[in-house]
Amino acid sequence: MVFQARAFRYRRALIGLAIVTLLATAGCLSQTTSGTPPAPAPEAGATGTAAQTRVVTDFAGRQVTVPARIERVVTIGSLPVVNSFVFAMGHGDKIVTGLLPRYDRERYEYHFVFGPRIAESPIMEGPDYTPNIEEILRADPDVILTMQQVVIPPLEERGLPVIFLAWREPEDIRQVIRLLGEVFGETERAEAYVAYFDETVERVSQRVADIPLEERVTVLYLDPQTMANTHLITEWWIEAAGGVSVTKAIHVGESVSVTLEQVLAWDPDVIVVRTKEDAEALRSDPRFASLQAVQSGRIHVTPTGAHLWAHRTSEQPLTVLWAAKTFYPDRFADLDLAEEARRFYAQFYGVELTDEQIAEILASGM
């Protein structure tokens, strides 16, 4: 079943009706004078400037009709993740969803750079992802994007065009980006992103390929407050960067808890954390004083741009580059991470960041 996009505003409908009437009249005149019938109008989802809508299939297998031209985007759920997808399409300026209070405005300040309307936009959901229907209707979105399948029914019931995105496996981002390339009419940008993603992973893989397993850096991604690795994707990018994750064998679900005894037994070469506060907690806690990573100063904070690079984000290629340079600084001494980040944000996010802004993003990971 095709779930139709919400009807355009009444004014637009009147304008559309007037256009159709004029075209019909012109067609009749053309047929009368030349004897040739007018060409048929393009179908919904057809390419070309005359097409008014396009139909896409989301990750739930639902066919969703959206306007061919997207002007207003509502995001619901894991906002830093979903917003980063929109940023990668170069359409961050279309997002009309405010950040929830739990997303610290200082940490996520670059959302307001990549999506300037976010700062002044209303919050579209409750703390449990319950959509704020009244605000969403008021925003009159052309499309709603979410990774929370539970929010779809109440939105769908009101005829709102909602697309479900899923990132189950680390490299599912290829499919997510390609789907959004269809939604935004940015298929070339989407394919360029996929090519860059693959090229980046391969570039790093080739450079670390000759490192024997027993000589590879062992890595722990840890939230010292909860004693957990809260993101399964860390297992992928640690390995993609040539490291060995000490939690890989036990990390099955999205989050895995660890004990102090396990951490001491693993004694990782490198520990990656979310914030500078987490890094300081590890350095100052006598329970961790014997760890190699603490003694050698190899505790690193993940950079944060649109999202924490260590978490699910369209910045994942940069994550792999940063991790590789962090794990093997000598082997990647020639890698200019600042220049890589500058080109990435310019090419895909469509934003030219200053030297100071690039430095700020990278400094958050020191």
- Tens of pLDDT, residues 2-47: 334 443 333 343 334 343 343 433 343 333 333 333 333 334 444 4
Give residue 253's pLDDT band: very low, low, confident or very high (50, 70, 90).
Answer: confident
Residue 8: predicted pLDDT: 38
Residues 130, 151 contacting (CB under 8 angstroms):
yes
Paired strand residues for 218: 244
Residue 364, pLDDT above cutoff 90: no
pLDDT, one tens digit per residue, over 209-218 is 999 999 999 9
Over 70: is that where the pLDDT of 294 sits?
yes
Residue 255 has pLDDT above 90, yes or no: no
With beta carbons less than 8 A apart as the criterion, state whether 86 and 61 touch: no
Name the nearest CA neighbour of 85 among 6, 4, 159, 143.
143
Percent of the chain clearing pLDDT 90 (strictly above) = 78
Tell me the whole-structure pTM to 2 decimals: 0.84
> What percentage of the chain reaches a pLDDT higher than 70?
85
Tell me the pLDDT of the chain averaged across its residues: 87
Residues 6+ apart with CB under 8 A from 70: 91, 94, 142, 143, 183, 184, 185
pLDDT of residue 365: 54
d(CA 175, CA 319): 19
Number of Cβ within 10 Å of residue 66's Cβ equals 24
Amino acid code (one letter) for 131: P
The full set of domains in the chain, from first to last, is: 2-189 (3.40.50.1980), 212-363 (3.40.50.1980)
Predicted confidence band of residue 366 (pLDDT cuts 50, 70, 90)? low
Strand partners, 245: 219
pLDDT at 252: 83
Task: Supply the pLDDT for residue 270.
Answer: 98
The residue ranges of DSSP E strands in the chain, in sequence order, are 2-3, 53-57, 63-67, 73-76, 143-146, 162-164, 218-221, 228-229, 244-245, 256-257, 270-273, 299-301
Q: Which of left, alpha, beta for 106 (phi over 0: left; psi -120 to 50: alpha)?
A: alpha
Integer Cα distance of 277 and 336 in angstroms: 27
pLDDT range class, residue 257, cuts 50, 70, 90: very high
Taking a C-beta distance cutoff of 8 angstroms, is the pair 79, 103 a contact? Answer: yes
Greater confidence, 244 or 29? 244
Determine the average pLDDT of the residues in 207-227: 96
What pLDDT is recorded for position 77? 94
Q: Please state at what angle helix 187-208 crosses helix 173-184, rounded to 10 degrees.
A: 160
What are the tens digits of pLDDT across the range 83-111?
Answer: 999 999 999 999 999 998 888 888 899 99
